[in-house]
Amino acid sequence: MQERNISDIIERYLKEILNDANAVEIKRSEVARRFDCVPSQINYVIKTRFTLPNGYLVESKRGGGGYIRIAKINLVDNTEMFQTLLAYIGEQISTKQAWKIIQGLYDDQILSKREANLILATLDQKTVADDGLRAQILKAILERLKYSN
């Protein structure tokens, strides 16, 4: 039996919860106990896997009654979030960051597999070596998507 990374297991668990609801509130310590890991491991998973480019909005409150709220968002149906995503891109974007955004749009079924692959080929490091030009292209694609859906 193949052993899996604890981060992958925690991510899968949280995504399963999000399949039943568009948002979930968790306590870092409770999830850490469930998976027998340190709370910072939960922070790592949330910071790296539940980001805006991946289609998630995360809020947290620290302290005794603290929580982390993760919400799955549909960027195209939410103009404000779409604007936040465009602002996130800024003047430059790496190939890896662009890939995450396209993956999120594919996961939300905004892009077909073929469309996502064509966009990824367009934004690839081998095609566009300049992060500024990649950002301009990605913004243009997102603006078109925003109004075509």
Q: Quick: pLDDT tens for 30-52.
A: 999 999 999 889 999 999 999 87
Residue that wins the pLDDT comparison between 148 and 18: 18
79-148 has the same fold as 6-72 = no
Cα distance between residue 18 and residue 1, in whole Å: 27
Helix axes 131-148, 79-89, angle to 10 degrees: 170
Q: What is the residue-averaged pLDDT of the chain?
A: 86
- The CATH code of the domain at 79-148 is 1.10.1200
Greatest CA separation found in the chain?
Answer: 50
- Quote the tokens at residue 142: 């997102």
DSSP code, position 73? -
Amino acid at 36: D
Neighbour tally for 17: CB within 10 Å: 13
In the block, tokens 């990605």 appear at 138
Q: What is the mean pLDDT of residues 59-81?
A: 75
Residue that wins the pLDDT comparison between 85 and 14: 14
Q: What is the mean pLDDT of residues 77-94?
A: 81
Domain locations in the chain? 6-72, 79-148
DSSP code, position 40? H
Residue 131 — pLDDT band, cuts 50, 70, 90?
very high
Residue 82 — pLDDT band, cuts 50, 70, 90?
confident
CB 58 within 8 A of CB 46: yes
Is the pLDDT at 94 greater than 80? The verdict is yes
pLDDT for position 1: 38
Cα distance between residue 144 and residue 29, in whole Å: 42
Cα distance between residue 126 and residue 33, in whole Å: 44
Homologous superfamily of the 6-72 domain (CATH): Transcriptional regulator CtsR, winged HTH domain (3.30.56.130)
pLDDT for position 11: 93
